[in-house]
Amino acid sequence: MERYWNPEIECMPHEDMIMLQNERLVAQVKHVYENVPYYRDLMDKKGVTPTDIQSIDDLHKLPFLTKNDLREAYPYGLLAKPLADCVRIQSTSGTTGKRVVAFYTRHDIDLWEDCCARAITAAGGTNEDVCQVAYGYGLFTGGPGLNGGSHKVGCLTLPMSSGNTERQIQFMRDLNATILCCTPSYAAYIGETLHDMGLTPDDISLKAGIFGAEPWTEEMRREIEKSLGIKAYDIYGLTETSGPGVAFECSAQTGMHINEDHFIAEIIDPNTGEVLPEGAKGELVFTSITKEAFPLLRYRTRDICVLTREKCSCGRTLVKMCKPMGRSDDMLIIRGVNVFPSQIETVLIEQGYAPNYLIEVDRVNNSDTLDISVELSAEQFSDTVKDIQRAEKELAGAMKTMLGINPKIHLVSPKTIARSEGKAVRVIDKRKLH
């Protein structure tokens, strides 16, 4: 059962892929222009019409879309199909009222799951496998995406969601799970827990892991591979482009193949928007050429990356992206949750604090920590430990509501957070992720 190893597409000569992309792009631009007034306005402002786009060589003429556009158009402004044709939404985790909401028709879900099925197949998955999906389920795309891909491949699927680690290990052992899908930090934590339970990789049947949704290093890959006795594969995607499965790693483990029959990738200079040549480092931009309900054209991911078309030992001709090397905005990914410093500042101001704060992110035993030091004003300052502790707890609760994760709050005395003479340094990220 090798339906999702599709050499016709995955090993297609590059010239044929360009022809396929040209055809799909022309149809997609027309679909968007006719059905999405928000994007039509952007095109009109730039003086571009669908007839100007005849091939991917014309792609640069189209306007970019950013997360800000998504917020502005929230919730329905970028929808290209009637709501009656949509059957699902997914959304980014832990953001404010105006989170990113992506819509799917049945066909969109089908294609998204195909992409995830390709990733599982590239990691050696077949219908003989037992696939434990320990990404979060719900609005987050990780659980539903890999769950769907696993079904398509025909694996016995364990829809565990994340958390309850000892139970994860028990199921893993009882049902002989062979593939684990979760964030790399959770995989590392499962490895540690296995060890703490007095077990070794010989006590489980895992052979492969499909890990993504956050940055992780080669060192972390080796550590996870050792602690679980597996081969660990990277997978990339974002809610805006459906979710996981935009790109996936093959046995070469040297970057992720982009599903170019569904997404056209470009690298641009994040400051000027100019398209950069192959091999240059810049911001990754995607155009989805097969999505019906939420087809974003030239979406700026903010992920900094390099693309390469060097021949891959696996035989695939799909372009490869390196592990994301950072971001061109200030978004942090903490325990798999996307966090913007501006959200933290909003909570502080809402709760009556001045915006004198310092955010410190670290990774201790493979798990992210978030510490926020907040300066009290002279009036807020209290000598009683109990008062301070109560205020810290309240603020942590408000942060949890906004961010979706629990930070450790440190209320500090007035005038103790260093003032800056230039741009304020509000974030210290001690994790060495890139």
- Between CA 253 and CA 55 the distance in angstroms is 32
- Quick check: 288 binds ligand DLL (CB under 6 A)? no
Where does 24-148 show beta strands of DSSP type E?
Answer: 86-91, 101-105, 130-133
- Between CA 397 and CA 404 the distance in angstroms is 10
Q: Which is nearer to ligand DLL, 324 or 407 (CB)?
A: 324
DSSP SS3 for 192:
helix
- Quick check: 92 binds ligand DLL (CB under 6 A)? yes
The one-letter amino acid code at 364 reads V
DSSP SS3 for 212:
strand
Q: How many residues bind ligand DLL (CB under 6 A)?
A: 23
The residue whose two tokens read 């879309």 is 65
- Quick check: 236 binds ligand DLL (CB under 6 A)? yes
Asked if 339 and 99 touch (Cβ cutoff 8 Å), the reply is: no
DSSP string, 377-395: PTTT--S-HHHHHHHHHHH
Least distance to ligand DLL from the beta carbon of 340, Å? Answer: 12
- Between CA 392 and CA 203 the distance in angstroms is 43
Angle at the Cα of 153 from the Cα atoms of 172 and 208, rounded to 5 degrees? 40
Binder to ligand DLL among 95, 141, 161, 168 (CB under 6 A)?
A: 141
- Quick check: 243 binds ligand DLL (CB under 6 A)? yes
- Between CA 273 and CA 268 the distance in angstroms is 5
Write down how long the chain is. Answer: 434
Least distance to ligand DLL from the beta carbon of 373, Å? Answer: 26
- Quick check: 244 binds ligand DLL (CB under 6 A)? yes
Write the interaction track for ligand DLL spanning residues 153-182; mark x where CB under 6 A is met and - where it is not: ------------------------------
**Interface stretch with ligand DLL, choices 31-39, 213-221, 305-313, 403-411 (CB under 6 A):** 213-221
Count Cα neighbours of 129 within 13 Å in the Cβ-side half-sphere. Answer: 27
Binder to ligand DLL among 108, 129, 225, 234 (CB under 6 A)?
A: 234
Phi and psi, residue 362, nearest 5°:
-145, 170
Binder to ligand DLL among 212, 255, 282, 407 (CB under 6 A)?
A: 212
**Interface stretch with ligand DLL, choices 44-52, 166-174, 231-239, 342-350 (CB under 6 A):** 231-239
**Interface stretch with ligand DLL, choices 38-46, 56-64, 71-79, 209-217 (CB under 6 A):** 209-217
**Interface stretch with ligand DLL, choices 207-215, 217-225, 313-321, 371-379 (CB under 6 A):** 207-215
Residues that bind ligand DLL (CB under 6 A): 92-93, 135, 141-142, 212-215, 234-239, 243-244, 301, 303, 323-324, 333, 338
